[in-house]
A and B are shown apart, each in its own frame.
Chain A
Amino acid sequence: MAGYFEEMGWRELDEGEQPDHLLHMARFLMDFGMYEDNFTGEWPRLPPPAAKEAVKNLNEIVIDNDTTNCPICLKAFNSGDKATKMPCNHVFHPACILTWLDKTNSCPFCRYELPTDNEGYEAFKKEKKRAVQRKEDIDTLHNSMFS
């Protein structure tokens, strides 16, 4: 069994560190279901742009067969063209994908998500992942007791 702090996704305060009152307020509201829509459902807007660092680290490749199109501008690639490859292996013209990632963080083809620089959105993603994990844990516990 994980410790209390770990299970909640929290950590203990460091020596001399002050608690973050805004964070407490947010958790308080969440506990009372004030943000139910945001935390059980979807991010209410288009997710934020991809993190600058993640975009910088995308792989550059050179096209060696010209049978495919760039899914954004739909223009066919030519052999020898430079292209950008996302971690999900989808390939785009650099200018096309950079414009898109400047708007939102996911692959236009399969919605694979790059990290963002938006703390609120990263917290939302983490919370969502934790909610799934917690539900699985409860199911496991329930099944081990009643099956």
Chain B
Amino acid sequence: MANIAAKRIKREFKEVMKSEEVAGGAIKLELVDNNWTELQGAIAGPPDTPYEGGTFLLEIKVPETYPFNPPKIRFMTKIWHPNVSSVTGAICLDILKDQWAAALTLRTVLLSIQALLSAAEPNDPQDAVVAKQYRDNLCLFNLTARHWTNVYAGGPSVIADFNQKVQRLLDMGVEEHQARVALSTYDWELERATEQLFS
């Protein structure tokens, strides 16, 4: 069984390497170990989204029963998105769960995850806090996502106001990521974030 999985991953690896998406820099795939059970993917943040200009790394674990069961994929790069846990990087995407089909490949799955960045599904959230902000204050959500892309994924937009607020919390001795999460969660209201951190 494991043999089928490894053989198929090898064929897929070749397919991905030849694909135009790799040539165009939209997706990347690398081997992590020599048994073809763990890979690292990367997707470029789609244009005209808050993720534009960022590169997001994904951990890909191939089960022994692949391709009859889906690969296990999570974001390693921290990302602010309704369908991705801002804590664990777990992804809520139907094809990685009950809508998996054996003819899907790592290439099509990576492209689907990239498409998810362009079109969030706030009604089927993985991260309730992010989804609530997406629904209630889309403008602030976009800024927050852009800020996270800048800080964690190498995106180009520096948001000075947010950086200053994070710095204020750093000065109080709060750990940087924790500070960013608290501010993002409380719509960048310094007072409420501080209150939550020190309560």
Contact = CB atoms under 8 A, between A and B. Distances in A.
A108 B102 contact: yes
A73 B5 CA distance: 8
B58 to A, nearest CB: 21
Contacts of A100: 68, 102
B8 A74 contact: yes
> Mostly helix, strand, loop or mixed at chain A's interface?
loop
- Counting chain A CB atoms within 10 Å of each CB, the highest count among B7, B15, B98 belongs to B98
A103 B101 CA distance: 11
A96 to B, nearest CB: 8
B103 A109 contact: yes
Interface string B89-101: 0000000001011
Nearest to A72: B102
B11 interface: yes
A108 B101 contact: yes
A2 interface: no
B8 A111 contact: no
Interface in A93-137: 96, 99-100, 103, 106-109, 111
A75 B103 contact: no
Interface string B75-119: 000000000000000000000001011111100000000000000
Interface in A23-60: 42-46
A60 B17 CA distance: 34
A45 B101 contact: no
A106 B101 contact: yes
A27 to B, nearest CB: 26
> Mostly helix, strand, loop or mixed at chain B's interface?
loop
Contacts, number: 37
Interface string B1-19: 0001001100110010000
Give the size range of A's interface with the partner: 10 to 19
A43 to B, nearest CB: 8
B67 interface: yes
A106 B100 CA distance: 11
Contacts of B105: 74
A75 B99 CA distance: 23
A58 to B, nearest CB: 16
B45 to A, nearest CB: 29
A108 B101 CA distance: 5
Interface of B: 4, 7-8, 11-12, 15, 67-68, 98, 100-105
10 contacts: A42-B98, A43-B98, A71-B102, A72-B103, A73-B67, A75-B11, A100-B68, A103-B68, A108-B104, A109-B101
Pairs of residues from A and B, 3 with the lowest C-beta to C-beta distance, nearest first: A108-B102, A71-B103, A108-B103
Interface of A: 42-46, 71-75, 96, 99-100, 103, 106-109, 111
Given A71-B102, A103-B68, A108-B104, 5 more contacts: A72-B102, A73-B4, A74-B11, A74-B105, A108-B102
